[in-house]
Amino acid sequence: MVGETEPEITEEMSASEASAVISELVSKARQNGVAVQRQINEPRLGMAIKECFRQWSALGRSIHDERRKAFIDYTIDTYNLFTEIADKLGQGSDRACFFPFSKPL
C-alpha cells in the first residue's frame, strides 16, 4: 500500500527473523496495486527459502547486497510454483498417473 515500506533484511538477522520478514512480504503479495492477504503455508515457504538459499549460496551469490530484492522475488516465485504444484495435486488428480503400476484407491 502507499506509504508502506519493505522490512529490512540485514546480515545480523537470525534465520527465523529473516523467514518472518519474507513471510510478511509474501503475505502482502500485490494484485492490481492493492496489497492482499493470503494464507501462507509456512513449511512450504521454509522449503522454498532453504532451496533458493542453497542454490544462491552454491553459485556464490550474496542475498545481502544489491541482489536482495532479486532473491526475495525468486523465493516468492519458487513458493508460488510449489503452491501451484500442491494445488494441482489436490484437485482430485487421478492417482494412477502418479502410480502407474498400482490400482487407484
Residues of the chain with pLDDT > 70, as a percent, come to: 60
Please give the helix or strand (H or E) that residue 35 lies within, else none: strand 34-35
Q: Is residue 47 part of a domain?
A: yes
Residue-level pLDDT at 105: 47
Q: What is the pLDDT of residues 32-56, one digit of tens each?
A: 455 555 688 888 999 999 999 999 9
Locate 39 and state its grid cell.
494464507
Residue-level pLDDT at 28: 62
Give dist(CA 18, CA 31) in Å, integer. 24
Residue 33's domain comprises 15-90
Q: Is residue 99 part of a domain?
A: no
Residues of the chain with pLDDT > 90, as a percent, come to: 28
Residue-level pLDDT at 27: 63
Give dist(CA 78, CA 32) in Å, integer. 21
Q: Is residue 8 part of a domain?
A: no
Q: Is residue 39 part of a domain?
A: yes
Q: Is residue 42 part of a domain?
A: yes
Q: Is residue 102 part of a domain?
A: no
Q: Is residue 81 part of a domain?
A: yes
Q: What is the pLDDT of residues 70-96, one digit of tens each?
A: 999 999 999 999 999 998 888 755 544
Domain count, the chain: 1
Q: Is residue 73 part of a domain?
A: yes
**pLDDT of 57 above 70:** yes
Residue-level pLDDT at 96: 44
